Chains A and B, each alone.
Chain A
Amino acid sequence: MKIRLWKDRWIRRAFFALLILTLSVIAFIGIGLTIKALPLLEDQSLFSILTQSIWSPLKGKFGFLPFIMGTVWVTVIALAIAVPLCIMASLYLVEYASDRLRNTVLPLMNVLAAIPPVLYGVWGVLFVVPLIADYIAPFFGSSTSGYSVLSGGIVLAVMIFPIMISIMVEVLQTIPAELKSASLSLGATKWETIQKVIIKKARPGLLAAVVLAISRAFGETIAVLMVCGNIPQVPKSLFDAGYPIPALIANNFGEMMSIPRYDAALMFAALLLLVIIFGFNLISRVILNKLEEKV
C-alpha cells in the first residue's frame, strides 16, 4: 500500500513538473526573442522601425513597413474571400443541411485542415498563379507574373476555411432552438431569422472564429512565400508582389549571420509575429471559452 501511495505521489510531482516545463517554453521563447531583438532598438526607435519603408540590411536600414503591409494585404484579401463564404456555408450546414450532408462535409473540412502548407503552395503555383496571370489580371487590364498579394490571399483563404467552418458551425449549433422557433412562429422566413436572430446571437463566436483565422493567416509561412513574389515593397494593388513577415524570416536566415544587426532585425520580426498572434489567439480563446461555459 505504501509503495502505491509513494508511486502516486512521485508521479503527481513528475507530471506537474512536465506541465510547468512545457508552459515555461512560451515564456522562454518570448524572453529569448526579446533579448535577441533588443540590439535593433539601439539605433532606431520602435516607431521608425515600424513605419520606415527602406529595407537595406547592408546599409543598416531596417524598415518593416513593406513587410507589415505585405502581411496586412494578404490577410485582408484572405478574410474578404473567406469570411462571407464561411459564414454562409456554416449557416447552410447548421440551418438547412440534412444530417447526412453535414456528416459528409465536416470530415472533408478535417481533410482540408490536414493538408500541409507546402501542398497549398504547390497548388497556388500550379493553379492560382497562372489563373491570375492569364485570366484575372488581363480582365482588369493589368499585366502581372501572377506572383502577387492576390495569389497569396486566395491560397490563404482556402487555408483558413477549415478552422473558420469548424468553429462557426460549433458556435451556430449553440444557438438555442427556442429563439429560432420564436422568430419562425412570428412568421419570419428562415433567412430573416438568420439575419435578425441567429447572426446577432452568434456574433461574438463568429468574431472569435475570424480572429483565430487572422492569427493563423499572420503566421502562415511557406504557402504564402511560394506565391507572393517576395519583393520588399509596399503593395499598391492586388496584382503587386508583396513580402509578408514570415516569408522574410524564412528567406533570410541563411545570410543573416554575416551582416550586423540583421539577426536582431529578423528576431524582431519573429517577436512581432509572436506578440500579435499570441494576443489575437488569447482574445478569441477567451471569448470561445466563455461561450462554451454558457451552454
Chain B
Amino acid sequence: MSTIKSRLRKEKIAKLFMQFAGISITGSLFLIIGIILFKGLPFLSWEMISQVPQGGFYIGKEGGILNAILGSLYLAGLSTVLACLLGIPIAIYLNIYTNQSAALVRASRLLFDVLFGIPSIVYGAIAFSIMVWLGIRASLLGGVITITLLTIPIVVRTLDELLKTTPLDLKNITTSLGATKWETAQVLLKYIKPGIFTAVLLAFGRAIGDVAGVLLTTGFSDNLPLYIDEPAATLPLAIFFQLSSPIPEVQGRAYASALILTFVILFIVICTHILASKQKKHKL
C-alpha cells in the first residue's frame, strides 16, 4: 500500500484531469459559436436576410438568402406540425389507452428510441428512391415527408416521458369522475402544456438543421418557395453550397448564413430552456 501522501497526490492529479476534460468539452461549445460569430459577423447585412439571390449571386454579386430562410422555416414548420399531429396521439395512446406493462407498449418505446437514432441520410435515401419510383421530382413536399419521419420519434419520446411523470392521482380522479379515457387525456394534455411546446421546439430545431434528409429530397431553388410541389432552398444547404465555392465573397456569405442559423438555434434552445423550467414549476 502506498503512502497516504502519494495517494492524495494521485487524487489531485485525477481531479485536475477531470477538470481539464470538463473545461475542454464546455469550451468546444464556445469555440464553435465564437468562430462562427467571428467569421460571420463582418459579412452579415440586411441584404442577406431580405433578398433572394440575384443574377450572379454565386459569383459574389448582389442578393441574399431569403429564399433559404423561408424555405427552411416552411419545411421545419410544416414537418413539425405533421409530426405533432401524428406524434401526440401516439404518445397519448401509449400512456393512457394501454396497459403499461404490455409487450406492445414496451416494444414501441424501444422502437421509437431506436428510430430516433437512425441517421437522416437513410431516410433521405429511401425517400429519394420512392420519389424516383413514383416519378416525383425533388420538392418541398418530399422534404416535409422525410423530415416528418425524422421528427416523429422526438415528439413521441419527449411527450411520452412527460406523460409518465404526470401524477397518478390526476389520472385516477378524472377517471373516477366518470371521464372517458379521451377526456382524461385532454386533462393530462393541459397539465403538460409547457412540455408540449418543448417537444415542438426540439422537433423544429432538429428539422431546421437537417441537411442529409433534404439534400436528396428537397432540391434547391433561387426562388421564394411558393408551391409545395416545387424544389425549395433550405438554410443548411445554402451554407453547404456557398462554403464549397472558391470565391471569398460567397464563402463569406456562407459564414454569415451559418451565423443566422446559429441565432435561430440559440433562440430555440433558450425558449426550450425557459419552457422546461416552467414545466418544473408547474409540477410543484
State the A residues within 8 Å of B (CB).
Answer: 4-5, 7-8, 11-12, 14-16, 18-19, 22-23, 25-26, 29, 32-33, 36, 84-89, 91-93, 96-97, 105, 107-112, 114-123, 125-127, 158, 161, 165, 189-192, 194, 212, 215-216, 218-222, 226, 246, 249-250, 253, 257, 263, 266-267, 270, 273-274, 277-278, 280-282, 285-286, 289
Residues B21 and A88 in contact, CB atoms below 8 Å apart: yes
* Shortest Cβ distance from residue B186 to the other chain A in the assembled complex, whole angstroms: 11
Asked if B128 is at the interface of the complex by the 8 Å CB criterion, the answer is yes
Question: Of all chain B residues, which has the CB nearest A11?
Answer: B182
Residues A85 and B236 in contact, CB atoms below 8 Å apart: no
CB-CB under 8 A for A12 and B97, given A29-B122, A111-B269, A277-B118: yes
Instruction: List 6 A–B pairs whose Cβ atoms lie within 8 Å, in order of A's numbering.
Output: A15-B89, A19-B90, A117-B211, A123-B32, A161-B28, A277-B119
Contact count A vs B, C-beta below 8 Å: 240
Measured CA separation A86–B25 after assembly (Å) = 8
A222: chain B residues at CB < 8 Å are: 211-212, 215, 236, 240
Residues A221 and B110 in contact, CB atoms below 8 Å apart: no
State the B residues within 8 Å of A (CB).
Answer: 7-8, 10-11, 14-15, 17-22, 24-26, 28-29, 31-32, 35-36, 39, 86, 89-90, 92-94, 97, 108, 110-115, 117-126, 128-130, 132, 149, 152, 156, 180-183, 205, 208-212, 215-216, 236, 239-240, 243, 254-255, 258, 261-262, 265-266, 268-269, 272-273
Residues A253 and B180 in contact, CB atoms below 8 Å apart: no
* Shortest Cβ distance from residue B103 to the other chain A in the assembled complex, whole angstroms: 13
Beyond the given A118-B261, A189-B7, please list 7 additional residue pairs across the A-B interface where CB-CB is below 8 A.
A5-B180, A23-B108, A93-B22, A249-B124, A250-B121, A250-B216, A277-B117
Residues A119 and B258 in contact, CB atoms below 8 Å apart: yes
B212: chain A residues at CB < 8 Å are: 117, 221-222, 246, 250
**A219's contact among B25, B119, B240, B258, by CB below 8 Å, is which?**
B119
CB-CB under 8 A for A4 and B180, given A18-B89, A226-B243: yes
A92: chain B residues at CB < 8 Å are: 15, 18-19, 21-22
CB-CB under 8 A for A116 and B208, given A29-B123, A92-B19, A219-B119: yes
A221: chain B residues at CB < 8 Å are: 119-121, 211-212
Measured CA separation A23–B93 after assembly (Å) = 14
The binding surface of chain A is classed by DSSP as helix
Residues A114 and B269 in contact, CB atoms below 8 Å apart: yes
Measured CA separation A122–B29 after assembly (Å) = 13
Residues A191 and B125 in contact, CB atoms below 8 Å apart: no
B115: chain A residues at CB < 8 Å are: 25-26
Residues B18 and A278 in contact, CB atoms below 8 Å apart: no
Measured CA separation A112–B30 after assembly (Å) = 9
* Shortest Cβ distance from residue B30 to the other chain A in the assembled complex, whole angstroms: 9
Question: Of all chain B residues, which has the CB nearest A280?
Answer: B117
Measured CA separation A122–B181 after assembly (Å) = 49
A25: chain B residues at CB < 8 Å are: 115, 149
Residues A89 and B21 in contact, CB atoms below 8 Å apart: yes
CB-CB under 8 A for A282 and B90, given A111-B29, A123-B32: no
A220: chain B residues at CB < 8 Å are: 119
Measured CA separation A121–B212 after assembly (Å) = 13
Measured CA separation A218–B11 after assembly (Å) = 36
**B125's contact among A123, A226, A253, by CB below 8 Å, is which?**
A253
CB-CB under 8 A for A85 and B25, given A116-B208, A119-B262: yes
Residues A121 and B265 in contact, CB atoms below 8 Å apart: no
Residues B122 and A88 in contact, CB atoms below 8 Å apart: no
Question: Of all chain A residues, which has the CB nearest B156?
Answer: A22
* Shortest Cβ distance from residue A165 to the other chain B in the assembled complex, whole angstroms: 7
Question: Of all chain A residues, which has the CB nearest B217?
Answer: A253
Question: Of all chain B residues, which has the CB nearest A26?
Answer: B115
B22: chain A residues at CB < 8 Å are: 88-89, 92-93, 97, 105
Residues A15 and B130 in contact, CB atoms below 8 Å apart: no
* Shortest Cβ distance from residue B238 to the other chain A in the assembled complex, whole angstroms: 9
Question: Of all chain A residues, which has the CB nearest B152?
Answer: A22
A250: chain B residues at CB < 8 Å are: 121, 124, 212, 215-216
